């Protein structure tokens, strides 16, 4: 694992810093990010007002167009620990492509 939660240097680190590091890792392997599709599952806080800013920050960090970043928000319909407001979940799929040389 590249960023273990047991390593104190990653405690409270900005996710954009981790994203920069991951982007460097894939660039070093000869790939670039093609697009990002993410879903945030939470009862609270409501993230809809922040989605445009989040998309912009991710796109800027990865060096891709904002139209290549999709973020959606949903709830757990009051089911499970997320529905009981005990946590938040996020899932993302990222497509990468080989750098043409």
Classify residue 3: in a domain, yes or no. no
Classify residue 46: in a domain, yes or no. yes
Q: What are phi and psi of 25, to 5 degrees?
A: -60, -45
Classify residue 14: in a domain, yes or no. yes
Classify residue 2: in a domain, yes or no. no
**Residue 16 lies in domain:** 8-98
Tens-digit pLDDT profile for the chain (101 aa)?
789 989 999 999 999 999 999 999 999 999 999 999 999 999 999 999 999 999 999 999 999 999 999 999 999 988 899 999 999 999 999 999 999 76
Contact 67, 34 (CB under 8 A): no
Classify residue 1: in a domain, yes or no. no
**Beta strand pairing call for 89-98 and 69-74:** unpaired
pTM for this entry: 0.89
Q: How many folded domains does the chain comprise?
A: 1
């Amino acid at each position: 694992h590249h960023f273990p939660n047991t390593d104190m240097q990653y405690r409270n680190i900005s996710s954009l810093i981790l994203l920069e590091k991951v982007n460097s890792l894939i660039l070093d392997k000869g790939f670039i990010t093609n697009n990002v599709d993410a879903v945030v599952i939470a009862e609270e806080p409501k993230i809809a007002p922040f989605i445009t800013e989040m998309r912009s920050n991710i796109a800027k960090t990865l060096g891709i167009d904002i139209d290549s970043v999709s973020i959606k928000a949903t709830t757990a319909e009051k089911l499970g620990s997320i529905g009981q407001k005990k946590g938040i979940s996020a899932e993302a799929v990222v497509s990468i492509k080989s750098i043409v040389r």
